Structure 1
Amino acid sequence: MESLSNIIVATKTNGKILQEKRLSIPTKTTRNSSVKVKRTSRPSINQNRIRQSTVHVQKVPRPSSNKVHAQDINSLSNNQKNISGLANDHKNRSLSMGDQNKTHDAFVHMQQVQLQVHPQRHQPQQLQQVQAQAHQQRVTSTTAATFSSCNSLRWNQTGQIVAGTTSGSNANQLKNPSCLYIDNNNTLYICDHDNNRIQKWIQGAITGVTVAGDSTGTQGSTSTLLKTPIDLTFDTNGFMYVVDNGNNRVQRFASGSSTGTTVAGTTASTNALTDLKQPTAIDVDNNSNLYILDMGNTRLVEWAQNATSGTLLISSSTLNNDYDILLAPNSSNQIYISDQGAHALYLWTFGASTPSMTLQPVNDSHNTLNNQMGMVLDPYGNLYVADRDNDRVVVYCANSTVGIVVAEDNNSVPSLKKPVALAFDSDLNLYLLSTNNGQVVKLPRI
């Protein structure tokens, strides 16, 4: 059947219409014809096919190198806000496919930046890659809530002893241990505080090997001796840094060497920036800059490589009974501080006189922390703390200020009482260092 269609022809000069003509031309149409709209589908995150209209997804840019730039940090901050907002209403509605992809890209970007900022203390690089891949395989929901991983992480409450027997000074014993670190090979490094030594414990071993300090527990201030070591960490080059609390210094040990080099502080204990006074915690960035909690001077200082004095980052009377520090993964100028005396965790910006955030509430009958001590971050930015006098482990999920109990002592065997330090291995099994019996207990992930 034919019909007439009108076409208007306009003549334009310099953007103005000078003349219009209306033309009528015959066209053919088919009765009962229909227009088919092509619909596309793409797999959801759990690989189920979802019918969905075509969408345009704006990809979140990824870092072009291993170096973290300011724009990456800003992008991460915005991405975290987006993820948090999406998670808040996931119970009431499903995300559109565009939101799913944006959220997924933002989460992956967040992981990349987090792991780049601080790979050694948070998790070794090889460990991070394994954990990130394992996490991707476990994602089964299309909502943003799964991306936090906080709700899906569980550990068996019946643990197994992997280091230590009873309190003592033999090679198979620990005495008032204070710190725990796990390397790429799942080897444990333990600050054997009262035995003045650092013990290396290979997986499956029944005894430890002394890698710093005297194996018999002799204390001293020479390059081969320690006095009440309280914390340690490793840099990306494999150097071990030990906070030699009783000697007011930080000692650096090359791999395989038991002779230390003083890289921060002296044997003096003044408030000069060349000295430290009862330092209690340490962290290190990718450039091997050291961040030291100088508790006796109520301050946080940074020591660059080969520096002869520190740079003041935070000075506050609040820092008079603090136990541990962790560089924040989503910032270049913030740090987590475990304030044992105030029963709180702080997120503190360098140069500020007060913390920008305080973490203290816990969603439990014991609704606050109690003399909490060591901290650790998982690959997803969730913060775990050893809540010592509540005999439990509490996690503060990324972007949350209320803690969740993930492990606690219920007269269990082995005991989980008095945890002071935490660590993860390559399978994200959780390790607790207990001062109650001088043991390290492994809680398998389930």
Structure 2
Amino acid sequence: MKIVFNFFFIALSLTAAVNCQTCHNVTQYGPCSVNTACGCLYLSSAVNTGICGLLSLTCSSLVECDTRNNACYEPAHICVNHPRCSNKPLCYPLSMTAQQLCAPIPSTTEITLAKSNDSICENARWHQNGITVAGGNGAGLGLHQLTYPIGFFLDHNGSVYIVDGSNRIVKWIRGTSCGIAIVDNYQASSNNDLIKKIRSVVITKNETMFICDQDNRQVQRWFKNDYSGQSVVTNIPCSGLALDDEESLYVSHDRGDRITKWPGGKIVAGGNGLGNSLKQISSDGYFFVDQDKSVIVADIYNHRVMKWPVDNTEGILIAGGNGHGSGLKQLNTPIASIMDQMGRIYVLDNNNNRVVRWSQNATSGTVIVGGKGNGDGKDQLSGPLDLQFDHYGNLYVLDTNNHRVQVFPIDKSSCP
């Protein structure tokens, strides 16, 4: 059985490794590309959603999908409805859906992302209308969809690796409209345990993945192009993961009282039970490791952000700490935080649906994104769970209840 599962998901991984574009609310065979030879082929597993591909393939070149599960076992094929050829779903080659062949119809509303590698200056601002770079097509299991995503990692190429609530990791290459399912719950670790609950992921410069498999109480390491992982930290109730500049691994515990550094398991934040003293944290969320290897903790249930320098036995309050609320001196369930090159803190304030910037030694913050109520507008967030900057200062936010990742481009026009 294990061999069948591995083959099935290897096939899925190979199938998805093409920069395809999807089409939504377009009729079967309807226009979806500037190339008029392309049309929308409905996916067998979705409603009113398809993949944009060349329509000139002969019917005799297409084979039927597996009738048990609508799967295609030929690498780089996907199951579609093609009634001109058959009343049964057919396996269609993804090579005929590549954007080089079926270039998308250009959008007139796209905002150009910043491409300067300068640091973020004090006067930098961010566009208030976000651009959807992953998901945004409702909850679902399609490769163009997400389902209550819970975390993500942004690599140096701008690809987004999303921990989806459907217990999979989906890679969205920048500029594409569908993802690549690279890990899901049917794949096994080296000890043959199937992944039970993916909680977070981080990726090294050579594309090795570390995955928190929470319900199996382990952290797995997946080398590039592997189809299974190795358990590298065991018997640990992991939650969030982070890497420092030397690619040492940091793990937060789901009981919320500590963060440890690996290898070795040294406690680098908390470790004194749950609580609100400076020696304690109460958080099972995300955290950030800065260039000095200080750990920046979004202390969720204490509604504050704490900085733990190396070898400190207590943290330093750097944001919030004035009770939960919506005032600029307050936070309400801060779920994640990051830091820029100048030491300013950016807090994802979950229950206030906003991102707030706190300068060093500030007693209040400034809302830079969101804060306009809970909603699905371009300028709104709904239950956001994670955030990250790219190398240019563009802000990516995991907008969980809207099943999407939004990028808010930076505006440096007021920078010196």
Quick one: which amino acid aligns to residue 423 of structure 1?
Q
Aligned to 1:206: 177
Shift of residue 431 of structure 1? 1.4
How many pairs does the alignment contain?
Answer: 285
The 1:225/1:166 distance shift into structure 2, 3 A limit, reads farther
Quick one: which amino acid aligns to residue 420 of structure 1?
L
Aligned to 1:180: 152
CA contact (8 A) 1:383 1:395 kept: yes
CA contact (8 A) 1:323 1:340 kept: yes
SS in 2 for 1:195: coil
CA contact (8 A) 1:156 1:444 kept: yes
SS in 2 for 1:370: coil
SS in 2 for 1:263: strand
Distance across 2 between alignment mates of 1:247 and 1:342: 28
Aligned to 1:44: none
The 1:300/1:198 distance shift into structure 2, 3 A limit, reads same
Aligned to 1:430: 395
Aligned to 1:236: 205
The 1:339/1:297 distance shift into structure 2, 3 A limit, reads closer
Shift of residue 130 of structure 1? 4.7
Distance across 2 between alignment mates of 1:156 and 1:224: 44
1:168 paired to 2:130: no
Shift of residue 228 of structure 1? 2.4
1:433-444 aligned at under 5 Å gives the runs: 433-444=398-409
Aligned to 1:413: 377
Distance across 1 between alignment mates of 2:192 and 2:285: 25
Aligned to 1:384: 346
SS in 2 for 1:428: coil
Q: 1:98-132 CA distances to partner (integer Å, 9 max, x unpaired)?
A: xxxxxxxxxxxxxxxxxxxxxxxxxxxxxx99522
CA contact (8 A) 1:372 1:388 kept: yes
SS in 2 for 1:389: helix
CA RMSD of superposed structures (Å): 2.9
SS in 1 for 2:351: helix
Quick one: which amino acid aligns to residue 390 of structure 2?
D
Distance across 1 between alignment mates of 2:337 and 2:223: 25
Structure 1 counterpart of 2:366, from 404, 420, 436 = 404
Distance across 2 between alignment mates of 1:297 and 1:373: 12
Distance across 2 between alignment mates of 1:224 and 1:211: 17
CA contact (8 A) 1:241 1:253 kept: yes
Aligned to 1:47: none
Distance across 2 between alignment mates of 1:311 and 1:365: 36
CA contact (8 A) 1:212 1:226 kept: no
Aligned to 1:347: 307
Shift of residue 398 of structure 1? 3.8
Q: 1:286-321 CA distances to partner (integer Å, 9 max, x unpaired)?
A: 3332111123272222212xxxx5233341223343
Aligned to 1:371: 333
Shift of residue 364 of structure 1? 7.1
Find the structure with the greater CA-based Rg.
Answer: 1
Structure 1 counterpart of 2:218, from 233, 245, 249 = 249
SS in 2 for 1:185: coil
CA contact (8 A) 1:179 1:374 kept: no
1:312 paired to 2:241: no
SS in 1 for 2:117: helix
Aligned to 2:287: 325
CA contact (8 A) 2:290 2:339 kept: no
The 1:377/1:323 distance shift into structure 2, 3 A limit, reads same
CA contact (8 A) 1:361 1:402 kept: no
Distance across 2 between alignment mates of 1:412 and 1:251: 34
- Percent identical: 27
The 1:206/1:224 distance shift into structure 2, 3 A limit, reads farther
Structure 2, gaps ≥5 residues long: 1-113, 275-280, 412-416
Structure 2 counterpart of 1:357, from 317, 320, 324 = 317
Q: 1:67-114 CA distances to partner (integer Å, 9 max, x unpaired)?
A: xxxxxxxxxxxxxxxxxxxxxxxxxxxxxxxxxxxxxxxxxxxxxxxx
Distance across 2 between alignment mates of 1:396 and 1:366: 10
Shift of residue 225 of structure 1? 4.3
Q: Return the TM-score normalized by structure 2.
A: 0.62
The 1:360/1:381 distance shift into structure 2, 3 A limit, reads same
CA contact (8 A) 2:302 2:321 kept: no
Distance across 2 between alignment mates of 1:384 and 1:223: 40
